[in-house]
Amino acid sequence: MSDRLAVLPQYLLPKKAITSFAGLVAGSAMGGVTTAIIRRFIRRYDVNMAEAANPEPASYPTFNEFFTRALKDGARPLADAHWVCPVDGAISQFGAIERDQIFQAKGHRYSTQALVGGDAALAAQFENGHFATLYLSPRDYHRIHMPCDGTLTRMIYVPGELFSVNPTTARGVPGLFARNERVVCIFNTAHGPLALVLVGATIVGSMATVWHGLVNPPRRPTVTEWHYEGQGIELKKGAEMGRFLLGSTVVMLWPQGPTQFNPDWAPARPIRLGEKMANSVS
């Protein structure tokens, strides 16, 4: 079966209604029912609870609190690199941005301008730059951390679809990551501007940042911006910056410049928070 045929049912499903219902269930404290759901999820996805700060499934009052669980101190040491991996998950794609085009999968590209919500001036800062698209599966740790030191300048909520973001859907849905709902976070760094784009998906009940809290719901009908220039919101490399309540994808953008990715990286390779992602080279 072709990938486009495999994703056809997603065009027909009431994705937003399914996602709203899943978010309601995941945020509800239902006692033993919640614990049973958590235990079944752990078995189904082989979740490693030994590295969780709180490894006891029955201690989480809601599924969301389990899903966004913290790790033990020291579980993810930071590599000596200019950019470290911001999440646990798997590599979707990474490499150079060709003018304003980001490679999604064979036969599919999308523009930086579409990804950031239509702001041409913002997108121009990443022309011929670099990107990394990182997929978080259900079994992964779902907090997102800073790949380098950064000072927050803007956050942009972009409404959109709620297609799945798994590899099959990435191959089958054109412009997927610039089509789904997303939260675009812009930082100033020692290496120039950095965009961390949190991409929503089916059953992703909400996305949150450490400075704002829940960004969605509500699901706003239009692009919405928050500006933070001069507020001194600084986050160090490895610090938590946000989280998914149910899993999705992060797209990173940074400007043109000599960049050397981790030579061990390849599409579909598993990744861990804090490992070497890339260095700026002279």
> Could you list the active site residues?
88, 145, 248
The span from the CA of 279 to the CA of 262, in Å, is: 8
Amino acid at 55: P
